[in-house]
Structure 1
Amino acid sequence: MTTRRARPAPRPPAGTPAPAELARQARAVLADAVRIARWAADGAGPGAVPLADRALERAAAAMELSPAQVRAGWDRARLAGLIELHGDTARPGWRLRAWNRDDSAVLRGWVALFDAWSLVHSSPEGIEATAVAEAVEAVPQVLSLLQLSAGPVSVPALLDLLAQRVAELHEERCEVPYGPQEPAPATETSADLNALLLDWALEGLAAVGALTLGAGHATLTPLGNWAVWVKLEQICVAAQSPAGNIEQSAADMLLGCARLTPGPARAEYRAWLAARPVGSAVAELLAVARGEDALL
């Protein structure tokens, strides 16, 4: 069997707060969401529709928040896994039950919120869904620049990077119109659109506590810096697939891992998963599980 030395655990960048401090900051960001989740878990009986009009009014009065704040906190609680919806019933998620004692659960909940920043902060009205999706796909590069800069980065520099990434996405799609084309209606220029979408993205990331906005610049918070570093490390792991199965199909990857000892096999699984969107990776693995190969 193939055996390889395990990759040493990476150390976070100098100055990164300890996990306990990061968890404290995450608890502060999600404080209202936790209050609302606990209220819903304690007060919503079986079959009750969480945050129906009457429930919304009761929650706002009980917690001395505005209805808009309650709705925002409710959405954050769902995205962070603090609440689980089963039909019309709200139940506490496992992260809510572990909130006061498990820093790891807190950080995972905040990372889930961070990943969903585009759902927390609604996109500008009148913008095509394709343009919004391109901006969301370009944001990881913006975050990488912020993390690698280890300090404030000017908005014009971030805008240049966003525009470059969006242009690359256009080229990758190779969209070539066929047949006679009607003149497109007058719209905002690409530069104006990119600037609008960058502002939206930065505001959304600030809303979840990932960065702060200054006069013409943005800076990652300690939480945001740590989260982006973790994601960059995951990419590095994916790029260093020990046995070279990262580009294989799910079936071939699993067959290749069957010849490895447990440690290297786990490294292959993680690298393979890290290199793919979660949805497509799960779908591919499920398709293999439903197949006819008894070994898989």
Structure 2
Amino acid sequence: MSAEPHATLPPVRLPSDAELARDALAAPLFARAVRLARWAGPDTRVHIGGELIAAQLPGAIASLGLDAADEEAPVLASQAWRVAVDTGLVDVSEPDDDNGDEEPGTAVPGEDLALVTGGAPGEVLDLWLAALDTVLADAAVPDLDGLVDALDAGGEIDFDQLDWNPRREADFLDGVLANLYLLTAAEHGASHGPVPLPVLAASMVIPEDMSEPTDAVLEQVSEAMMRLDDQFRQLEPIGLVEFRPVDEALMTEADDEELAAGPVPGGAADDEDVSRYGMVRLTPLGLYGIRARMLEAGVVAPAVGELADKGADALLDAVSGYPEGAAQAEMEQWLTGRELPAAVAELLAAARGADEGGPLRRLRCQQALAPAGPEAEPAVRAVLDDPELGGLARVWLSERGAADVPAPDGAMVFWLTVDTIAAQLAADGETAELPLLMETLTAHHTGFFDQVWRVEHPATAYVLEAMGRMHPDKKAAKEARKAAFKARSRPS
């Protein structure tokens, strides 16, 4: 799957391998491939490439319980057979065409068929991923009605005449699925709303710096949307997506510009109108599949729970880049099954540090400790005198009504204020809520800015500059800017 090798994606939540394996076995196309593999036997005959000979198709169709009179039945059987061959569910001995012998080849159940019922969930998922590769390759091939006309004198396909570039088509589909994955990951898991098809098409066609799409670009969006409609129809049976196709009546009613512009964000379309343009969502199995392909391409695509066996330092470093909900879920899983006092002590130790990432590590540590009960108190009390963790410890103990919590001195109060704002800036940037936090933290300290610039914290000047931009009180903002200058000018 094409992607930037060092890109990092938001974490996703996935079901267990056992649940995913059950979903894989229930996917209609994969289930049909398994049935055909069990049907194959000594009398099964194939062409070169493993394709069933025409005389075998009725038997394959019957084994799948399909209606022989249905014109789609041969297509469904052929697709399932191709998946069975490509995944190793079927072993094919191709005909030997070197000696002119026209006898067809044979096909029998493959060794991997036993994994369907006797393999571990991971082995079932490996089979499904192989099936997914086959289906994605097929989906990237456009309707080749003009294929015969595109054959040159030597019988080779003239891709220029066909206007089909296989690599370009595969990259387009990869890009669409990557965008769909990102939209799913932004919801921190596999449960998310369906995406209108034109939105996906527009994400691939309309340049980010184009404020108003031209008619030509809208026509490209429309063409891409209809191509995706065909591709997602092919991808749904393997369990990758849930898909509502474009309303065929709509295609006869609307021109290209209306098709492309109807449900694009900013348009005035109700839910029913939007759904007529096609809707798609990744299933949990689909999320797993696209993530597996991204990992293979070198993309950093974390999943919640994969840090459970790592140390606290690795945990806090990783979740510092996670959205808050995913970070909380990861930290809760990390604590599960550990001896709480030792785990809390390890988290607190990992939260220390004067580096740039320190404030956010301490914020994530505080969030990790939020659900901890009385067992954690000794480890928290042990850091009350720590210059970096003492403020965090006092907050945690006070929130639980603990007795004998020593009051912080002025230096610790100011240090904790700088650390807290630095952490919020690192986590979410300059949000609309941050000015209120700044006002709350500074309101109860007379002469706050006269003292805070002296705080020995690596982020002091940075925080004061942010307060100078964001503090809701103009006078306080001006004082913050002056204090930031003093902090910058202070000898190191």
- Cα pair 1:135 1:197 within 8 Å, conserved: no
Question: In structure 2, what is the equivalent of residue 106 of structure 1?
Answer: 124
Question: In structure 1, what is the equivalent of residue 168 of structure 2?
Answer: 134
* 1:107-137 deviation digits (Å, cap 9, x = unpaired): 1121112122245456224473525642321
Question: In structure 2, what is the equivalent of residue 234 of structure 1?
Answer: 296
Question: In structure 1, what is the equivalent of residue 21 of structure 2?
Answer: 23
Structure 1 residue 197, shift from structure 2 partner: 2.0
Counterparts in 2 of 1:168-207, with a 5 A limit? 190-207=220-237
Match for 2:285: what amino acid? L
Residue 123 (structure 1) aligned to one of 135, 142, 145: 142
Question: Could you say if the C-alpha distance between residues 77 and 164 of structure 1 is closer, same or farther in structure 2, counting changes exceeding 3 Å?
Answer: farther
Question: Could you say if the C-alpha distance between residues 28 and 95 of structure 1 is closer, same or farther in structure 2, counting changes exceeding 3 Å?
Answer: same
Measured in 2, the distance between the counterparts of 1:129 and 1:96 equals 39
- Cα pair 1:23 1:106 within 8 Å, conserved: yes
Structure 1 residue 60, shift from structure 2 partner: 3.0
Q: Give SS of 2:117's match.
A: coil
Measured in 1, the distance between the counterparts of 2:225 and 2:299 equals 33
Measured in 1, the distance between the counterparts of 2:290 and 2:174 equals 8
* 1:177-222 deviation digits (Å, cap 9, x = unpaired): xxxxxxxxxxxx5444323322222222223221111323210011
Question: Could you say if the C-alpha distance between residues 145 and 21 of structure 1 is closer, same or farther in structure 2, counting changes exceeding 3 Å?
Answer: same
Measured in 2, the distance between the counterparts of 1:94 and 1:72 equals 20
Structure 1 residue 46, shift from structure 2 partner: 11
Residue 162 (structure 1) aligned to one of 185, 197, 204: 204
* 1:146-192 deviation digits (Å, cap 9, x = unpaired): 11212322212210222259xxxxxxxxxxxxxxxxxxxxxxx5444
Question: In structure 1, what is the equivalent of residue 93 of structure 2?
Answer: 86
Measured in 2, the distance between the counterparts of 1:53 and 1:233 equals 40
- Cα pair 2:45 2:52 within 8 Å, conserved: no
> Which is worse superposed, 31-40 or 80-89?
80-89
Q: Give SS of 2:233's match.
A: helix
Question: Could you say if the C-alpha distance between residues 70 and 232 of structure 1 is closer, same or farther in structure 2, counting changes exceeding 3 Å?
Answer: closer
Question: In structure 2, what is the equivalent of residue 246 of structure 1?
Answer: none
Question: Could you say if the C-alpha distance between residues 159 and 100 of structure 1 is closer, same or farther in structure 2, counting changes exceeding 3 Å?
Answer: same
Measured in 2, the distance between the counterparts of 1:203 and 1:41 equals 31
- Cα pair 1:141 1:161 within 8 Å, conserved: no
2:12 matched to 1:13?
A: yes
Counterparts in 2 of 1:68-83, with a 5 A limit? 68=74, 69-83=76-90
Match for 1:155: what amino acid? L
Structure 1 residue 227, shift from structure 2 partner: 1.2
Q: Give SS of 2:116's match.
A: coil
2:52 matched to 1:51?
A: yes
- Cα pair 2:33 2:80 within 8 Å, conserved: yes
Measured in 1, the distance between the counterparts of 2:239 and 2:40 equals 24
Match for 1:19: what amino acid? D
Measured in 2, the distance between the counterparts of 1:104 and 1:71 equals 27
Task: Flag the structure with more relative contact order, 1 or 2, with Cα contacts below 8 A and sequence separation at least 6.
Answer: 1
Measured in 2, the distance between the counterparts of 1:12 and 1:107 equals 20
Measured in 2, the distance between the counterparts of 1:146 and 1:220 equals 7
Identity %: 27
Question: Could you say if the C-alpha distance between residues 129 and 118 of structure 1 is closer, same or farther in structure 2, counting changes exceeding 3 Å?
Answer: farther
Question: In structure 1, what is the equivalent of residue 211 of structure 2?
Answer: none
Structure 1 residue 26, shift from structure 2 partner: 0.8
Match for 1:230: what amino acid? A
Question: In structure 1, what is the equivalent of residue 61 of structure 2?
Answer: 60
Q: Give SS of 1:100's match.
A: helix
Structure 1 residue 32, shift from structure 2 partner: 1.3
Match for 1:38: what amino acid? R
2:37 matched to 1:37?
A: yes
2:242 matched to 1:212?
A: yes
Q: TM-score, normalised by structure 2?
A: 0.37
Question: Could you say if the C-alpha distance between residues 237 and 197 of structure 1 is closer, same or farther in structure 2, counting changes exceeding 3 Å?
Answer: closer
Work out the number of aligned pairs and report it: 206
Question: Could you say if the C-alpha distance between residues 203 and 111 of structure 1 is closer, same or farther in structure 2, counting changes exceeding 3 Å?
Answer: same
- Cα pair 1:159 1:194 within 8 Å, conserved: yes
- Cα pair 1:50 1:89 within 8 Å, conserved: no
- Cα pair 1:40 1:50 within 8 Å, conserved: no
- Cα pair 1:25 1:223 within 8 Å, conserved: yes
Rg larger in structure: 2
